[in-house]
Amino acid sequence: MNKVLILIFASFFLLGFIAISYATTTSRPTYVTFRLKYHIGTNRTNDNFTISNSTTFQIINAISDEKTGTNIGNAFVCSYDKTEYTNGLVISLIHSYQNSYLSKANFTATGSSDTDNYTLEIKNDVDNSKLLIALTKGECSDINDNMHIIRKQAIPSSPFSSFSENVTTKYPYEIRAMYEKININGSEHYVTGTNKLCIEKTGTDSASKPIVYIRRC
């Protein structure tokens, strides 16, 4: 199984990561699963979630809700908080391709404490996998109301409606790659622009995995 992690860091009220795993029936992956685990706000009774354009539920206790691709209208899963944030804050995973390539969408809340995590999950066909991660103002209905644009464009060419909220400076993020069969090392930080990388195998670890060192050349 291969994994790619996209880590999202912000202040105390938002901390999460997205794990991407591949399911195989042969030597080649057939499905890819995106899992976004996060924590938002300081009081979970202010939080709500929905899958597709179905009923919105308040998050109080532990819950797991799942819909298969054949039972989904608009292919997204999201949660939002409109109490602790002036204009609301919504987080969503959106399958931005045909529903026939979507296997399932899932929302999970662990425990009942305000510090417990939520998980958004999308599983789709690896050859037709197109995913949007929405982190913006508003609520889940804003995602639902603009799904027609996503269906037409797959990846929208420009922000639309409440999606135009500029949150990138407030919620910086980083991308981290992790592979089960390779031990990747490196601590470089890269700025906007062209960067030249050197990738070198430096040995094997105690589990006999190749150690690959990535650095700026």
Residues 112 and 132 in one domain: yes
77 in Cβ contact with 92 (< 8 Å):
yes
Domain that holds residue 158: 2-174
| Residues 196, 102 share a domain | no
In whole angstroms, give the CA distance from residue 104 to residue 41. Answer: 27
Residue 133 confidence class, pLDDT cut points 50, 70, 90: confident
Same domain for 47 and 13, yes or no, is: yes
* Identity of the residue numbered 37: K
Greatest pairwise CA separation for the chain in angstroms: 53
- Whether 138 contacts 147, CB under 8 Å: no
- Enumerate long-range contacts of 194-203, CB under 8 Å, 24 or more apart: none
DSSP secondary structure code for residue 209 in this structure = P
Q: What is the pLDDT of residues 52-96, one digit of tens each?
A: 877 889 998 899 999 988 888 899 999 999 888 888 888 899 888
Do 98 and 200 share a domain, yes or no? no
160 with 195, same domain: the answer is: no
Distance CA 181, CA 22 (A): 13
Which structure tokens are listed for 61?
A: 């206790």
CA–CA dist 104, 116 (Å, integer): 23
Q: What is the pLDDT of residues 102-122, one digit of tens each?
A: 999 999 998 888 888 899 999
Do 50 and 85 sit in the same domain of this protein? yes
Q: Are residues 47 and 147 in the same domain?
A: yes
pLDDT: is 216 or 17 the higher one? 216
Is there a single domain that holds both residue 40 and residue 73? yes
Provide φ and ψ at 214, rounded to 5°. -115, 125
116 and 207 co-located in one domain: no
> How many domains are contained in the chain?
2
Same domain, 6 and 103: yes
Q: Same domain, yes or no, for 98 and 196?
A: no
Residue 78 confidence (pLDDT) = 93
Looking at the structure, tell me whether residues 122 and 153 fall in a common domain: yes
Instruction: With CA atoms as reference, report the closest residue to 96 among 65, 124, 54.
Output: 124
| pTM of full prediction above 0.85 | no
